[in-house]
Structure 1
Amino acid sequence: MEVLTYDVVVVGGGAAGFFCAINLAEQRPDLKIVIIEKSKSVLQKVRISGGGRCNVTHAEFDPKSLTAYYPRGEKELLGPFHKFMTGDTVAWFESRGVPLKIEEDGRMFPISDSSQSIISCFEEAVNRLGIEILLQQNLVDLKPTDAGFELNTTTSNFRAKAVVIAAGSSKKIWQLLADKGHTIVPPVPSLFTFNIDNEALLALQGLSQPATVELLNETGKAWESQAGPVLVTHWGLSGPGVLKLSAVAARELAACDYKFNIRLAWLELQEQELFEHLKSLRLKRAKQQLQNGYELDMPKRLWSYLLDRAGLNPKALWSDQSNTKLQQLTNTVLKDVYKVTGKSTYKDEFVTAGGVALSELNFKNFESKVVSRLYMAGEVINVDALTGGFNFQNAWTGAHLIAQDLSDTI
């Protein structure tokens, strides 16, 4: 079988792989670069991310603050973010004709609201720069040699001076890297929703409410919490508040087989503050029904549900409520406990916590400390973040620093 020779082989046709290849080719047009991808198409996660709009990055422009969004990788990414982070990402895309916009929650998307803008930008660049793309190349072996590497796929053989692994959360690639001496932190799901078997709650499907979600231990004590919009779905709870919590506690929740208790505070109020407000309504709205005139920042559907959950009749008058009943309602609104029976993930947007141990990478250039001239970027390493935009930023940063190092040293 013919051996194909390149300066650099990039394994993985996703965000990190394309970004690395493009940046390297722009700095070193003399290099022969190929991206090999195991599937029939490239950039699939880019295409579907953010509901097809591509959540490119997040409007956090301080490196230290940005690292706080990475449950795994917070310490290691501080240095890299000082070299290439959000502002650099924005400038990179805007200089190539893809301006970005900031939404209210800080997420950043192409102004076009279409992931195709990012894909077209990448496709134009690889065509212009002469970067080859080979599909259906399932990597089965990777051998370091004196001159670099020999790579074997099911259909082709390659030689390269350097290899960039940007293959995402691939068990086969992790096994190959383990065979070369790398430690693989066992992957577990991150960014998942909570399944809850409660018909009355699920009847609120589609409702979204800012809330604080706490994870409870066996004694009912909170050990982790996150705040953010919570979305009621037909299977349980989702939304940023839940997804962030699933990422922060990914390993612990895997260990308990996704069976645990959560507590929700449906309002950002202190207990005494809410109780006093409800007492004032008893005077102010005396002749009105509980379901009306509650003057709280939540949808009426949710308020009626919480009244019922607290054992109160939504049609009862405010004037008929004792302090005991109002305290009961306060507790329900701010300390609403549910049993989670499992998780749900969006298969195409699956994110894992796990991968190549961070101690085995040099974060100045994302090169392996175990195998010289072997680089890694994106989800293949044990870094994951709270939302897609942050995961993409990790990919852009790692890929850019790899390209810079290869440009200087190959």
Structure 2
Amino acid sequence: MAIIGVIGGGAAGFFAAIHAAQEGAQVTIYEKTGKTLSKVKVSGGGRCNVTHAAYQVSTLVKHYPRGAKFLKKAFGKFQVKDTVEWFESRGVKLKTETDGRMFPVSDSSQTIIDLLRQEADKLGVEVMQKSEVQQVTATDEGFVLTINDSTTMVDKVIVSAGGSPKSKSYDVYKKLGHTIIDPIPSLFTFNTPAAKLKQLPGVAVPNVQVRIEGTKLAYEGPLLITHWGVSGPVVLKLSAFGAKWLHEQDYSTNVHIRWVTGMKEEEIGQALRTYKQLHPKRKVSVHPLFDLPKRLWEHLIESAGIDSSAKWSECVKKQINILEQHIFCYILQMKGKTTFKEEFVTAGGIALNEVNPVNMESRLVPNLFFAGEVLDIDGITGGFNFQAAWTTGYIAGKSTQKL
């Protein structure tokens, strides 16, 4: 019976441990903190965004700024339909929301946590908390793990330690010869300290276009205005695909927001002028156009120099032109980012060219496997990071017994 040490008690670690144990191995998870599956707990606002209803692999891989080519091979072995089947066959039904995100019907992440712990327990997986793996030494007989200054021997190792913002966290694997791609943040909100827009926290717009000035990066989706700037799925997606560029700019750039999509600038202007002609006596502030939230509309007319008590007939050409510009291309100055530590996602980690996507084994050290965010893989928000964790964990766990 092979003895396997799994480093990290997150989603990928548990999934890898379960599938290694199913193959008959004696498995121990070593978790450095005092709790396991903490990211699962907070994901999706405590509901756990298990995966995303992107059933075609060709569609699925488009949601990974880094690691898409690597994952394409891996998804051939375990993809979204397999994730859904795995959870539902064990009594945890999943539901699909309108945006494609998939959650347990219970709307509670604890449902997912309980299942993973039960499966691991049923298969005899031992979980050691507050057990930091300080060193991994490869020998002819296997691996010596230095844990809390004492040592233990295992035949094989699965590294599923998660992402970290600090390069130092990857030193254990660097000493084994692996290249580390410097970790940088992904999935963060844009801070706009000088923007008056911050005075509208809580205002949400269902579909806007956000573009990063000086790049080709532009996406459409829901946007949320916060106390510190802008957030929401469209911003998080931009932060993921623009992670390296934004890091190089020290998170200082201009962001362009198009509040109304599907219309050219001149069409927006024409709509404003037509409304003015049809309703000259109406107060501009009272009737928001283009289905924009009232507070946002009031902000936009104020920024165009239109008084809150003004009627449409009182608006001069210059004010209409400015309002048109602000609806079509509202410029925000980004200065910094905000990351939620519990849901922190990193771009960077173990270089993918040193890992075989078919079995998740190191190409440099035999019997050393990797799974999850410790790899240089990250997805956008919406369940994609968990899908990568399930897939790589499944393959790593299964592969430990096939060598």
Report the TM range for the smaller structure's normalisation.
Answer: over 0.9
Distance 2:271 2:401 in 1: 64
Distance 2:253 2:217 in 1: 12
1:160 pairs, out of 132, 154, 165, with 154
Deviation at 1:353, TM superposition (A): 0.6
Superposition pairs for residues 45-84 of structure 1, below 5 Å? 45-84=39-78
Distance 1:215 1:366 in 2: 35
Does the 8 Å contact 1:366/1:398 carry over to 2? Answer: yes
Q: Are residues 1:10 and 2:6 paired?
A: yes
Distance 1:6 1:367 in 2: 16
Deviation at 1:172, TM superposition (A): 4.8
Does the 8 Å contact 2:351/2:375 carry over to 1? Answer: yes
1:214 pairs, out of 189, 211, 215, with 211
User: How does the TM-score come out when normalised to structure 2?
Assistant: 0.95
Q: 2:210 is paired with a residue of what secondary structure?
A: strand
Alignment-derived partner of residue 350 in structure 1: 344
Does the 8 Å contact 1:190/1:247 carry over to 2? Answer: yes
Distance 1:311 1:154 in 2: 64
1:130 pairs, out of 114, 124, 127, with 124
Alignment-derived partner of residue 235 in structure 1: 228
Deviation at 1:321, TM superposition (A): 3.2
Deviation at 1:199, TM superposition (A): 5.8
Superposed CA offset, 1:58-101 (max 9, x none): 11111011111100011111111122111111111001111111
Distance 1:342 1:52 in 2: 27
Moved more, 147-156 or 34-43: 147-156
Unaligned runs of 5+ in 1: none
Alignment-derived partner of residue 359 in structure 2: 365
Distance 1:88 1:275 in 2: 50
Does the 8 Å contact 1:180/1:371 carry over to 2? Answer: yes
Moved more, 392-401 or 249-258: 249-258
Unaligned runs of 5+ in 2: none
| Aligned AA (1:197) | P
Superposed CA offset, 1:18-72 (max 9, x none): 001112222x2x3211111111111111111111111111111110111111000
Alignment-derived partner of residue 18 in structure 2: 22
Inter-CA distance 207–332: structure 2 relative to 1 (3 Å threshold): same
1:37 pairs, out of 19, 31, 35, with 31
Deviation at 1:185, TM superposition (A): 0.5
Inter-CA distance 368–388: structure 2 relative to 1 (3 Å threshold): farther
Distance 1:160 1:388 in 2: 36
Alignment-derived partner of residue 143 in structure 2: 149
Deviation at 1:108, TM superposition (A): 0.9
Distance 2:140 2:382 in 1: 39
Does the 8 Å contact 1:137/1:156 carry over to 2? Answer: no
Does the 8 Å contact 2:349/2:374 carry over to 1? Answer: yes
Q: Are residues 1:398 and 2:392 paired?
A: yes
Q: Give the fraction of aligned pairs with identical amino acids, expressed as a percent.
A: 42
Inter-CA distance 393–346: structure 2 relative to 1 (3 Å threshold): same
Does the 8 Å contact 2:288/2:294 carry over to 1? Answer: no
Does the 8 Å contact 1:137/1:155 carry over to 2? Answer: no
Alignment-derived partner of residue 109 in structure 1: 103
| Aligned AA (2:191) | N
Q: 1:368 is paired with a residue of what secondary structure?
A: coil
1:139 pairs, out of 119, 126, 133, with 133
Alignment-derived partner of residue 256 in structure 1: 249
Distance 1:321 1:311 in 2: 9
Deviation at 1:388, TM superposition (A): 5.2
Alignment-derived partner of residue 306 in structure 1: 300
| Aligned AA (1:84) | F
Distance 1:14 1:93 in 2: 17
Distance 2:155 2:364 in 1: 16
2:371 pairs, out of 368, 374, 377, with 377
Does the 8 Å contact 2:5/2:29 carry over to 1? Answer: yes
Distance 2:201 2:84 in 1: 36
Distance 1:344 1:57 in 2: 24
Distance 1:71 1:407 in 2: 31
Deviation at 1:139, TM superposition (A): 1.0
Moved more, 399-408 or 226-235: 399-408
Distance 1:11 1:144 in 2: 15
Deviation at 1:313, TM superposition (A): 2.1
Deviation at 1:182, TM superposition (A): 0.8
Deviation at 1:198, TM superposition (A): 3.7
Superposed CA offset, 1:341-367 (max 9, x none): 111111111111110111111111111
Q: 2:305 is paired with a residue of what secondary structure?
A: coil
